[in-house]
Amino acid sequence: MDAAPAPEDWPETWPPPLPDASGFVAPPVPGPLGALAAFGRACAGDPAGALRVAGRALWLVAIAGLCVPAHALWRRLGWPSPWARRFLGWGARACGIRVRRIGDPVARDVFYIANHLSWTDALILGGQTGTVFVAQDGIAIWPGLAFICRQNDTIFVNRSDRMGVPAQIAAMREQFTRHSRIAMFPEATCSDGRRLLPFKAPLFAMLTPPPPGARIQPVVIDCDEAGRNLAWVGMETGAANAWRLLSHPGTWKARVHFLEPFSPDNTPDRKALSARARSAIAAKLSETLGGRPVG
C-alpha cells in the first residue's frame, strides 16, 4: 500500500473536493444497439484499454460459467453453496484487485457495516465473507447485474418508498434468518476512500430490536491511491466507471479491516447504532490515511 504522507505534506484542501453531482440525473439504461454503439466508441478511443476490458470481461464470464451452474446445483440439492463467495473473490481478482484481509470476520449472526467506494466493494467484501448485501433497487434495472445479485440473494431497497419500509425490513430479517450474514453500506452512495459520508440511520431499522444473538461488525475498505482514483463518484455512470476500472493497466490493492464487533442489544435506537458503527469506521479509516481527518 502507499506510504501515508506526513501531515506537513497534506494538500491545503483535505479531503480533495468530490466532483459536483448536484442536479445529476443518470441517463436511462441503453438498449442493446445503444450499448454496442457506446462500446464501439470507447474501443475506438482507447484500443489498448479495450483489450484489457475484453480480457477481464472474458475472465469474468468464464468465472460465471463455472460458478453460476455449480451454485444452482448446490442449491437444488439443498447444500450450502460456496460458489457465490468464490465468484465474488475470483471476480475481484479478474478486475485487477489484490485483496488483503486484516482482522477476523465474524462467521455468522453478523451485520457487516462498511464504507463504500464502488460496485467492486461487493466483490472485495463478499469474497472475504460470503455475505448477502443490501443494495439500492436501481441496480435491479441492469439485467445481467441484477441476475448475478439475485444469485447471492441481494436485498434491494428503495429509500424513497417510505410506505414500503416494513416490507423491506421483513425481507432483511428473512434473509438474515437464512444466511446469518448481511452487509450494508450506510453512506448509501459512493465516496472516494478519503472521507466518510454521513450514515443513513434508517438502514439500521431492522436492528431495533435486533435478531437474537446478532452482532454488528464495522468494516473499513482501504484502497491504495489507484483504487481511490477508480472510485465511482460524481456524475460518472456505472458503465463509464466499469470501463475505467476494467481498462486500468495493472492491478491495485485493497485491504479489508474487520474491526471489533459489538452487540446492538444495549444501544437504544437506530441513530445510536449508526453513530457507534460510524465512529469506529471513521477512526480506522483516518488511521489508514496517516491520521488525516475523514469527517
Say if 294 falls within a structural domain: no
Q: Provide the number of structural domains found in the chain.
A: 1
Q: Which residue has the higher pLDDT, 33 or 224?
A: 224
In a domain, residue 16? The reply is no
Query: What percent of the chain has a predicted confidence (pLDDT) above 70?
Result: 92
**Average pLDDT, stretch 72-83?**
96
Q: What is the pLDDT of residue 166?
A: 80
Where in the sequence is the domain holding 75, given as residue range(s)? Answer: 31-288
Question: How does pLDDT run across 112-138, given as a tens digit for each residue?
Answer: 999 999 999 999 999 999 999 998 877
Q: Is residue 281 part of a domain?
A: yes
Query: Side-chain half-sphere of 156: how many Cα atoms within 13 Å?
Result: 13
Q: What is the pLDDT of residue 5?
A: 53
- 71 occurs within a structural domain: yes
Whether the pLDDT of residue 10 is over 70: the answer is: no
Q: Taking Cα atoms as reference points, which of 120, 55, 133 lies closest to residue 91?
A: 120
What's residue 221's pLDDT? 98
Q: What is the pTM of this model?
A: 0.91
23 lies in some domain: no
- 47-76 vs 32-45: helix crossing angle, rounded to 10: 140
Residue 229 Cα to chain centre, angstroms = 16
Q: Kindly state whether residue 268 falls inside one of the protein's structural domains.
A: yes
Tell me whether residue 204 is in a domain.
yes
pLDDT confidence of residue 8: 53
Cα 292 off chain centre by: 23
46 CB-contact burial (10 Å; exposed 0-12 / middle 13-18 / buried 19+): middle
Cα–Cα distance, 107 to 255 (Å, whole number): 19
Domain with residue 42: its CATH number is 3.40.1130
Among 225, 137, 229, 226, residue whose Cα is nearest residue 191: 229
At 85, list the grid cell: 463467495
Instruction: Please give the pLDDT value at position 152.
Output: 92
CA triple 242-247-248, angle to 5 deg: 105
- Among the ranges given (19-23, 95-99, 186-190, 207-211), the one the predictor scored with the smallest mean pLDDT: 19-23
Edge to edge, the sheet with strand 155-157 lists 97-102, 252-258, 215-223, 110-114, 181-184, 132-136, 155-157
Place of cell 410506505: 163
The pLDDT confidence band at residue 168, using thresholds 50, 70 and 90, is confident
Q: Report if residue 216 sits inside a domain.
A: yes
